[in-house]
Amino acid sequence: MAWRVSEEDFWKNSRLNEIVSDFRLKASYAVVGNTDIGDFPYLGTFGAAQYGSQTGIAFDNTGNPALRWERSRKTNFGLDLGLFSNRIRIAADYFNNDVDNLVLRAPTAPSLGVPGNSIAKNIGALVNKGIELSIDATVIQKGDFSWDVNFNYSNIKNEITALNNNEDIIFDYHVNRVGQPIASFYGYTWAGVNPANGNPMWFKGDGKGGLTNDIVQYNIAGNNYRVFNPAEPGNVATAASLSATNDRTLLGNSNPIWQGGLTNSFKYKGFDFEIFARYQGGNMLMNVTRQATLVNMGFQNNGQEIMERWTTAGQVTDVPKVWFGREAAINNTGTTDSRFLEKADFLRIQNIVLGYRVPQNVLDKTGKNGIRSARVFVQLQNPLVFSNYRGLDPEISTNTGNSTFGVDINANPIIRTSSFGVSIGL
């Protein structure tokens, strides 16, 4: 529903109407279902199976007749403003999308013989909420010259509110945890390189999801973990451990929190010029390309970063000493390590277009050729990206799926293209 306040007499007769030429309040609420829950999770199904060298049919899914559609309750409040005879137009919205009855796989006891040791249930819930802002403005409109601007901004918060028994769902690089965004990065917290011996070091966890001040080092020479004592940094006598159960912690959000774009459009007589920039940030990106490829310590194509490796006692660096064959433990390959987790904020010049529209009197002089309009243009897409991300592109993600994104594993960047063309209207 909506209420255009600016159409009311008390508004039209006030001095506010001279500034705010259009004012509308709006609100909406809806409940919708989601049918994208996989193939027949509510049915018991059979499929092809292999037993030794024999092929047959076996039970491959335990159905759940109590399964229901996922439900999304969407609430929206907003306003639209037109200022100075609508030369500036503003739209602002607050939204809340509360999703429950999410279909997830609930584990079952192996002794039951359930295929995959799990069954589909309505046990998940999450919420997405935030704000959206859009501003359109005619900055200059004078004679044959005009300058128009469009700016938009979104800020989104995602939070998981329910899981099966509120237990964590852990992946290689992520965790789904109640109270946290979906697919939060989950791994080890880097403590630097031991300047005495070049060993990599990490902070120990407290077993409750937090960190302690204790530090463990991977003793590269002995292929084991040892306690790091700042008073005796070269001492590797005391055994220690780096546990996937106790020492991994939340390291960051893989979901962009804020994003938007800015478009500037210029026109002068037959010429038009447009530049569109897009921005995004608040999220992290796991640079597995660095972790497993560019700092692999093998006789391969290492990156320039390997030149900063530790070589001499007392040297302060962030790259451990090289030891061929033990790079997986040195770099924590296969899991999230804050050493390789980077901010993915960026500003991208997405599109630049320069065009020229052939005057109508010129087309008329060409005779009866049926051409009513003609425009020549040159376009450049993705020419520049501004970011502190050390990989090829802060926007790429190798993995796919709701809980496995924000990971860069030798992914190709968005390509840069240029084009020239002619648009003809008949």
Ranges assigned E (strand) in 163-270: 169-170, 174-176, 184-188, 190-193, 200-205, 211-219, 224-227, 249-252, 258-268
| Confidence at residue 115, expressed as pLDDT on a 0 to 100 scale | 80
Contacts of 182 (CB under 8 A, 6+ apart): 126, 158, 160, 176, 255, 402, 403
Provide φ and ψ at 331, rounded to 5°.
-100, 0
Instruction: pLDDT tens for the chain, 426 residues: list them.
Output: 999 998 998 888 888 888 999 999 999 999 998 767 777 777 777 777 777 777 888 777 788 888 888 899 999 999 999 999 899 999 999 999 999 998 888 888 888 878 888 888 899 999 999 999 999 999 999 999 999 999 999 999 999 999 999 999 999 999 999 999 999 999 999 999 999 999 999 999 998 889 999 999 999 999 999 999 999 999 999 999 999 999 999 999 999 999 999 999 999 999 999 999 999 999 999 999 999 999 988 877 889 999 999 999 999 999 999 999 999 999 999 999 999 999 999 999 999 999 999 888 877 776 666 778 889 999 999 999 999 999 999 998 876 565 678 999 988 899 999 999 998 877
Helix (H, G, I), strand (E, B) or coil at 305: helix
Q: How far is CA 88 from CA 3, 91, 385, in A?
A: 20, 10, 29
pLDDT of residue 367: 60
- The dihedral built from the CA positions of residue 230, 231, 236 and 238, taken in this order, carries a sign that is negative
Kindly report the pTM of this predicted structure: 0.89
pLDDT score of 98: 96
First CA to last CA across the chain, in angstroms?
42
Domains contained in the chain, number: 1
Provide the 10 A C-beta neighbour count for residue 166. Answer: 12
Which range marks the domain in which residue 296 is found? 2-425
